[in-house]
Structure 1
Amino acid sequence: MIRHTVSFVLVHPPGSAEETAFLTQGRTVLSAIPGVEDFVVSAQVSPKSPHRFQFAMSFADEAAYRAYDAHPAHVGFVTSSWVPEVADFAELDLVPLPPEG
């Protein structure tokens, strides 16, 4: 299992219609891609990070993650929305460690 997360800040003013549209579009487009599981959009509540939002999703395995990354809907979203609308981001791709014992 891979948990893919990306935290980000948008170029749009907080609370704007453009901000809402970006988050809605991201949820709609990305969660519909085959292999995406447990898609969540979250808002940052801590002042310790300038990133205001996070998209997070899970993939069963590396093959599902690679298929998502190359999927035309993902590539299109990145090109048409992510690149022009995201001011800064941090990406993490995490796999669970086995339990100790």
Structure 2
Amino acid sequence: MIEHTVTFLLKHASGSVEEQRFLQAAAALASLPGVRDFAIRRQTSAKNPHAFGITMRFDSQAAYDGYSQHPEHVAFVQERWLAEVEDFLEADFEPLEGGTLS
């Protein structure tokens, strides 16, 4: 299991139509093959300057790779993400082997 997480700050004003259109386009990624437990959340901590976070899970590295290379994901990154995201941080997590934490 891989949990893919990205937090980000948009170039758009908070609450703007542009912000909503970006989030709607991002939400469409939930329908791509292999994506599980997709969620978009608003950041609430003053410790993090990013306004949003997206999380999703994949059953395997192959499923994650398939998502990353999917034409719709590639198009979203090229057409929306690169043009509209001011800053981001990406992290991918796997459960600890043999551990009770997951």
TM-score by length of 2: 0.94
- String of CA shifts for 1:60-84, please: whole Å, max 9, x gaps: 0000000000000000000000000
Shift of 1:16: 0.4
Q: Aligned residues: percent identity?
A: 47
Shift of 1:50: 0.6
Counterparts of 1:33 and 1:25 in 2: how far apart (Å)? 12
Residue of structure 1 in register with 2:27 after alignment? 27
- String of CA shifts for 1:3-38, please: whole Å, max 9, x gaps: 00000000000110100110111001x101100000
Counterparts of 2:99 and 2:54 in 1: how far apart (Å)? 26
- Structure 1 residue 57 and structure 2 residue 50: aligned? no
Q: What aligned pairs does 1:21-100 form with structure 2 within 5 A after superposition? A: 21-28=21-28, 30-97=29-96, 98-100=98-100
Residue of structure 1 in register with 2:12 after alignment? 12
Shift of 1:99: 2.3
Q: Which amino acid aligns with 2:69?
A: A
Counterparts of 1:32 and 1:87 in 2: how far apart (Å)? 25
Q: Which residues of structure 1 form unaligned runs of 5+? A: none
RMSD over aligned Cα, in angstroms? 0.8
Q: Which amino acid aligns with 1:84?
A: A
Please identify runs of 4+ aligned residues in structure 1 that moved more than 3 A: none
Q: Which residues of structure 2 form unaligned runs of 5+? A: none
Q: Secondary structure at the match of 1:51?
A: coil
Q: Number of residue pairs matched?
A: 99
Counterparts of 2:14 and 2:47 in 1: how far apart (Å)? 17
